[in-house]
């Protein structure tokens, strides 16, 4: 680990990112020893401010949470529920012009689905996740649309405490 010269570019990039994100004295010393002073001194942003822009970022946040227990890593995952506004984009993409805008909308719908599913599955396995979802549900800062999906997840995780009552009318004509 002391010499990056024999590493491939992608391997070196991954190692540099890991050492930087570790935000440790040891990691910074290795970066400095390999003439990567800029990475060694650049501050690491709070994980809670991370934005989910591609599927790997979702995995990154889950890895951060499970590796550190830092619930701040759940914030970007929960914020991905806002991508519900792209509902239907995957179906539309099949017949679209397949331009960047259509592709981006389809990807955001897919990430919404992945976030919804992973919050439910991981929340069932880890009470800390369920409790954090509950905290977000009751927060006045949480957008109403996001609360709807958190309520859905909580109704699955804690059916004795959260029930969804969806009513509507059937049009027989």
Residue 137: inside a domain, yes or no?
yes
Residue 166: inside a domain, yes or no?
no
With b for 16 or more beta-carbon neighbours within 10 A and e for fewer, the 120-132 pattern comes to bebbeeeeebbeb
- CB atoms under 10 Å from CB of 35, counted, come to 9
Q: Do 36 and 52 lie in a common domain?
A: no
Range of the domain at 129: 47-157
Q: Do 31 and 59 lie in a common domain?
A: no
Residue 105: inside a domain, yes or no?
yes
Residue 1: inside a domain, yes or no?
no
Work out the end-to-end distance of the chain between its first and last CA atoms, rounded to an integer number of angstroms: 71
Nearest one of 104, 11, 116, 14 to 54, comparing CA atoms: 104
More reliable by pLDDT, 33 or 12:
33
**pLDDT at res. 12:** 81
**pLDDT at res. 166:** 77
CA angle 116, 65, 54 (to 5 degrees): 55
Residue 164: inside a domain, yes or no?
no
CA-to-CA distance for 4 and 28, rounded, in angstroms? 14
- CB atoms under 10 Å from CB of 76, counted, come to 21
Q: Do 23 and 70 lie in a common domain?
A: no
Residue 32: inside a domain, yes or no?
yes
Q: Do 81 and 153 lie in a common domain?
A: yes
Residue 1 has pLDDT above 60, yes or no: no
Residue 147 has pLDDT above 90, yes or no: yes
Structural domain tally of the chain? Answer: 2
Residue 150: inside a domain, yes or no?
yes
Q: Do 36 and 66 lie in a common domain?
A: no
- What is the token pair recorded at 154? 């909580």
Q: Do 32 and 94 lie in a common domain?
A: no
Q: Do 32 and 88 lie in a common domain?
A: no
Task: Kindly indicate the confidence band of residue 13, based on its pLDDT and cuts at 50, 70 and 90.
Answer: confident
Task: Kindly indicate the confidence band of residue 158, based on its pLDDT and cuts at 50, 70 and 90.
Answer: very high
CA distances (Å), origin 171, targets 21, 125, 168: 55, 40, 10
Q: Do 71 and 143 lie in a common domain?
A: yes
Task: Kindly indicate the confidence band of residue 136, based on its pLDDT and cuts at 50, 70 and 90.
Answer: very high
Where helices occur in 36-125 by DSSP H, the ranges are 37-41, 55-68, 74-79, 89-95, 100-125
Q: Do 31 and 51 lie in a common domain?
A: no
State what percent of residues in the chain have pLDDT above 70. Answer: 95
Q: Do 75 and 27 lie in a common domain?
A: no
Q: Do 19 and 54 lie in a common domain?
A: no
Q: Do 66 and 20 lie in a common domain?
A: no
How confident is the model over 30-82, as pLDDT tens digits?
Answer: 999 988 889 889 998 888 998 999 999 999 999 999 988 999 999 999 999 99
């Amino acid at each position: 680990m002391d010499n990056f010269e024999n590493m491939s570019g992608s391997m070196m990039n991954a190692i540099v990112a890991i050492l930087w994100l570790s935000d440790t004295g040891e990691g910074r010393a290795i970066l400095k020893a390999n003439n990567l002073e800029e990475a060694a001194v650049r501050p690491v942003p709070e994980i809670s401010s991370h934005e989910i822009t591609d599927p790997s970022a979702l995995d990154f946040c889950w890895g951060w949470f499970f590796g550190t227990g830092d619930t701040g890593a759940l914030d970007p995952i929960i914020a991905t529920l806002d991508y519900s506004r792209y509902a239907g984009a995957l179906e539309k993409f099949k017949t679209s012009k397949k331009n960047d805008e259509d592709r981006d909308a389809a990807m955001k719908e897919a990430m919404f689905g992945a976030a919804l599913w992973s919050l439910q599955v991981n929340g069932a396995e880890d009470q800390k996740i369920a409790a954090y979802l509950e905290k977000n549900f009751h927060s006045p800062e949480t957008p109403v649309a996001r609360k709807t999906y958190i309520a859905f997840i909580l109704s699955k995780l804690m059916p004795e405490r959260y029930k969804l009552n969806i009513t509507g009318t059937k049009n027989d004509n």
